Amino acid sequence: MTDKSAWDWDKGDKTIDTTGWSAQYKWVEELHAAPDGQTLAAVVNVDQGEFTVCVNATSWEKTFDKIWHLRFLNDGRLTALVSAMGQWTVAVDGSCWDNTFGFVWNPLFSNNGKHIAVAVQRDMRYCMALNDESWKTDFANMTYFALSPDGSKTAACVQVKDADSGQIQKFQKGTFTAAIDGKPWEQTFVNVWHLAISPDNRHLAAEVRLNLYDYTIAVDAKPWEQIYQSVWEPVFHPADGSVTAPVKSDGKWHMARDGKIIWNRGFVQLWRQRFSPDGSKLAAIVAPKFGRWTVAVDQELWAVSAKQMVTDLAFSPDSSKIAALFKSGGYWKIAVDGDLWSRKFDRVFTPVFSSDGRSLAAKVETKGKYTLVVNGKLWQQSCDMIWDPVFSPDGDKILIRFMKDGIYHRRIELTSNISG
Amino acid sequence: MSEAQNLDNKNQLDTATEAGISRLTPEKIKKVVDCVIKRETGVRFETYMQTCIHCGLCSEACHFYLSHDNDPHYSPAGKIKQTIWELIKRKGNVDRDFIRRAVRIAHTECNLCKRCALYCPFGIDIAYMMLVMRRILHKLAVTPLYIQDTAHSHSVTMNQMWVKGDEWVDTVQWQEEEAQDEIYNLRIPLEKHGSEIMYSVIAPEPKFQAQLIYQAAIIMNTAGIDWTMPAGVGWDNSDMAMYTGDNEIMGRVKRAHFEAASRLKVKKIVMGECGHAYRSVADMGNRWLGWSMPPVPVVHAIEFYYDLLKSGKIKIAKKYEKPVTLHDPCNVVRGAGLHEKARYVANQLCDKVVEMIPNREHNYCCGAGGGVINCGPAFKLSRTEGNSVKAEQLFNAKSRGAMTLIAPCHNCHSGLHDIVHHYEVGLELKFFSDIIYECMEKPEDK
């Protein structure tokens, strides 16, 4: 993860006035704030079919025919997908990769921000490119992309046998497989979805469909012996190399590890399973009955539930706490360790834990205005726009990045000033 | 896709389906029937099976029955009697010829339009019964070629037309560029997290009808909507797997759609003018996944246009002058009650609206829905001849002045196109968005 200790954590407010940007350019697209809050950027149009990126009121030197998917990486670099003369590539802080392609999309970034992968198309053939280096093999079709947690390996579902539209028998014999760093598995499947690369980079797991009816998980091309009515995405255990996935059998969803059911009850739905960072706990979003949603931790259900949906299940970095978002009656609430915070909002964005798990904060929206909720308490500012909060390494301070009346603010607050 | 066969002979299906039928054995048929009925049906199925008193009131609800001189073979109860009913009665002990006939009836002679359910004194949902039949046919691997291929496309790409990841984004960006000639700063924002609305479409739009994305962009930008479209899977809201009985793929496709909306943190999903997609998102797919209602509110285009016009976000510069008649799509009228909102939209846009007779929830199906048109050109003739009553309905509206036919649903649009041409009805077909685009005030007009 990013080392945030070198950031400026002195309490105070830094501003960037964006009110002149719209006069400087024909139009300004969405604003993006850097993780450390020091930089504000947007794709801007300078003339018909001519775009650049404005960073703290200064444009990149180069202009492009098109720019999209502008994002800050966790290391603070600014990246975008750019096109010039009909060729696409990746730009980082205004400099382009050497290689160009027919198209690039679906960028993936490593947690530390050092590695960038994209799906690429060249002459209607498909592969992945990582840090400006393409796979040596390309394929007729490619779906579902993955980047290893450390950013060193890429994987995708690829078509290795031809089957034209309408050749259903050929398709049903299996034309797809998974490839890692461009090397496809030897075994083919009817379908391959949702790849996971193991933390040690040695294994690749995927959902596979063996025929029109039988689903299972394949690890390094070898399907589990058990077959199911359906499966959802597999995850690797952080330490022991096992693979865990939701599987459906006898009409119920179960949690399975390496082909064996590990939770003693089934669910109407079960997905988004997560291991705690230390690997000691397994949590998932579940529907214990039709139209009722909650969280299960090591198969134990939280007492609270939501009628509409549960999302954004996450462990704290120290593995001590779990948070999720609960939606009922059109409103969102935050739940931590099975307790729902009392406040409800029109929208809650992905909650963020401090590294020690003591604090939790999230961007929230009520009636079109944004603020933060920190440990259940509201920050008493109403903003036109706010980004996800960032805690200092010790969790005592919080970086708040927000827009108000055209002015961008980078503010450092004591966490206790908001949460009490 | 290979050249279409002519399958006017009712004892013949396409070669792929015939190949599937040739592999069937009595044992396999019985095993699949027993399995589906025992494991996947319950009180609802049993109740329907035991409640029907063969009164025949459903017959005149069916456009196939009416279009075949009241031939009872085409009545809803008659079609059930020739398929799932007989299958249960014989405890799955049927031969290949029975299955061949069942494929033909279940996939090409019933649009799952639910008009029959409206007229059944017990409210028996015959479309559900027919879907159980299609589920069995799916398990027997005898789904018609074209729609099976479409289900395969869904399974690989999460869209119904094998549109690849780059092709989708490229098409959206192409339409954005085209539309910038009209509104210089127009945008189709891709992957804009935190937008109010995720706009989703069906795959024929990027594949064949990109102008509909263009028109939607003009409408969204003029109305000042905070919107986005996903750049990855989930952009397509359609779901033909729902109609092939491949419920597992249906659920997978619907999960991708809702997870795109959830990932983008939008407040609601607005979908284009498609009926079956609405059914898949707001009724069948969501429920297969365990959501009793859509987890993210889903707004069909008719309702969205209604809101834009009612709130004044879209203003009409000059009403559409030709008299129009309005087709009520089954899935958003009988299925979602949007008929009065559709009339509000039509009357706001057009000088004169000539009602079809019957109309609203009593309207006749287009004949294309329920996956019937997706079974391919081989069944086009039987589909159009099976809906002469629709042609009569259209001729009637035309005789009262209608010149344009509004069909706010993709399948309806295609099905009505075939009927208009086959019977030489002489009506011009439009989506609502075609007329809004043509008649609205645009920024340069303000």
Beta pairing partners, B199: B270
Residues with Cβ within 8 Å of residue A202, at least 6 apart in sequence: none
A33 and A131 assigned to the same domain = yes
Strand, coil or helix: A249: strand
Taking the C-alpha atoms of residue A352 and residue A391, their distance in angstroms, rounded to an integer, is 8
Nearest to A40 by CA among A401, A404, A412: A401
pLDDT tens readout for residues B329-364: 999 999 999 999 999 999 999 999 999 999 999 999
Is B445 a residue whose pLDDT tops 50? no
Taking the C-alpha atoms of residue A298 and residue A255, their distance in angstroms, rounded to an integer, is 10
- φ and ψ of B47, to 5 deg: -60, -45
pLDDT at site A2? 78
pLDDT at site A165? 85
Count of domains forming chain A: 3
Question: What is the CB-side half-sphere exposure of residue B411 using CA atoms within 13 A?
Answer: 31
Taking the C-alpha atoms of residue B229 and residue B212, their distance in angstroms, rounded to an integer, is 14
- CATH fold for the domain made of B316-445: Rossmann fold (3.40.50)
ipTM of predicted complex: 0.98
Nearest to A168 among B149, B262, B296 (CB): B149
Question: Nearest CA to CA, how far is B373 from chain A (Å)?
Answer: 16
Nearest to A129 by CA among A119, A143, A144: A119
Please say whether the beta carbons of A315 and A283 come within 8 A: yes
Please say whether the beta carbons of A331 and A325 come within 8 A: no
Q: Is residue A367 part of a domain?
A: yes
Radius of gyration of chain A (CA): 23
pLDDT at site B12? 80
CA B246 to chain centre: 16
Contacts of B141 in chain A (CB under 8 A): 212
Taking the C-alpha atoms of residue B93 and residue B35, their distance in angstroms, rounded to an integer, is 13
DSSP secondary structure, A54-123, as one string? EETTEE-S--BSEEEEEEE-TTS-EEEEEEETTEEEEEETTEEPS--BSEEEEEEE-TTS--EEEEEEET
pLDDT at site B392? 98
A338 and A364 assigned to the same domain = no
Q: Which of A114, A138, A162 is the last residue of a domain?
A: A138
CB contact under 8 A, A269 and B290: yes
pLDDT at site B5? 55
A304 and A340 assigned to the same domain = yes
Helix-strand-coil percent breakdown of chain B, rounded to 5?
55, 5, 35
CB contact under 8 A, B149 and A166: yes
pLDDT at site B6? 54
Please say whether the beta carbons of B398 and B24 come within 8 A: no
Beta pairing partners, A400: A411
Cβ neighbours around A253 below 10 Å, total: 25
| Domain of A398, in residue numbers | 355-420
CB contact under 8 A, B291 and A26: no
CB contact under 8 A, A290 and B141: no
> Across chain B, what does the average pLDDT equal?
96
Nearest to A66 among B165, B173, B289 (CB): B173
pLDDT band of residue B3 (cuts 50, 70, 90) is very low
- Over chain A (420 residues), the average pLDDT of each successive run of 10 is 90 95 96 98 97 97 98 98 97 98 98 97 98 98 97 98 92 98 98 98 98 98 98 98 98 98 98 98 98 98 98 98 98 98 98 97 97 97 98 98 98 96
β-sheet with A176-180: strand ranges across: A142-147, A154-159, A176-180, A183-184
Alpha helices in B274-431 (DSSP H): 275-279, 285-288, 301-311, 330-333, 339-349, 380-385, 388-399, 410-422
The domain limits of chain B are: 15-143, 150-308, 316-445
Question: Nearest CA to CA, how far is A112 from chain B (Å)?
Answer: 21
Please say whether the beta carbons of A327 and A310 come within 8 A: yes
pLDDT at site B326? 98
Residue matched to tokens 């285009």: B301
Is B8 a residue whose pLDDT tops 70? no
Residues with Cβ within 8 Å of residue B127, at least 6 apart in sequence: B110, B112, B113, B114, B116, B117, B370
CB contact under 8 A, B165 and A212: no
Q: Is residue A100 part of a domain?
A: yes
Q: Nearest chain B residue to A309 by CA: give it.
A: B295
Mean pLDDT of B180-208: 97
pLDDT tens readout for residues B224-252: 999 999 999 999 999 999 999 999 999 99
Reported CATH class of domain B15-143: mainly alpha
A391 and A290 assigned to the same domain = no
CB contact under 8 A, A103 and B169: yes
Angle formed at CA A180 by CA B233 and CA A190, multiple of 5 degrees: 55
Q: How many CB pairs under 8 A join A and B?
A: 115
pLDDT at site A420? 86
pLDDT at site B2? 45
How much of chain B exceeds pLDDT 90, in percent? Answer: 96
Is B175 a residue whose pLDDT tops 70? yes
Is B10 a residue whose pLDDT tops 70? no
Is B160 a residue whose pLDDT tops 50? yes
Nearest to B185 among A26, A141, A193 (CB): A26
Q: Nearest chain A residue to B2 by CA: give it.
A: A166
Give per-residue burial for A201-237: e unless 16+ CB within 10 Å, then b: eeebbbbbbbebeebbbbbebebbebbbbbbbbbbbb
A23 and A76 assigned to the same domain = yes
Q: Cα torsion at B160, B271, B138, B129 (round to 10°)?
A: -160
How much of chain B exceeds pLDDT 70, in percent? Answer: 97
pLDDT at site A179? 98
Taking the C-alpha atoms of residue A184 and residue A353, their distance in angstroms, rounded to an integer, is 38
Nearest to B39 among A66, A251, A290 (CB): A251
A286 and A332 assigned to the same domain = yes
pLDDT at site B9? 62
Residue type, B214: Y
pTM summary value: 0.97
Q: Is residue A167 part of a domain?
A: no
A40 and A122 assigned to the same domain = yes
CB contact under 8 A, B248 and A229: yes
Contacts of B267 in chain A (CB under 8 A): 346-347
Taking the C-alpha atoms of residue B309 and residue B38, their distance in angstroms, rounded to an integer, is 50
Please classify residue A338 by burial: count the beta carbons closer than 10 Å to its beta carbon, then call 0-12 exposed, 13-18 middle and 19+ buried: middle
A337 and A359 assigned to the same domain = no
Q: Is residue A401 part of a domain?
A: yes
Taking the C-alpha atoms of residue B100 and residue B29, their distance in angstroms, rounded to an integer, is 12
A325 and A379 assigned to the same domain = no
pLDDT at site B35? 97
CB contact under 8 A, B149 and A346: no
A282 and A412 assigned to the same domain = no
Q: Is residue A190 part of a domain?
A: no
Is B1 a residue whose pLDDT tops 90? no
Nearest to A373 by CA among A394, A396, A398: A398
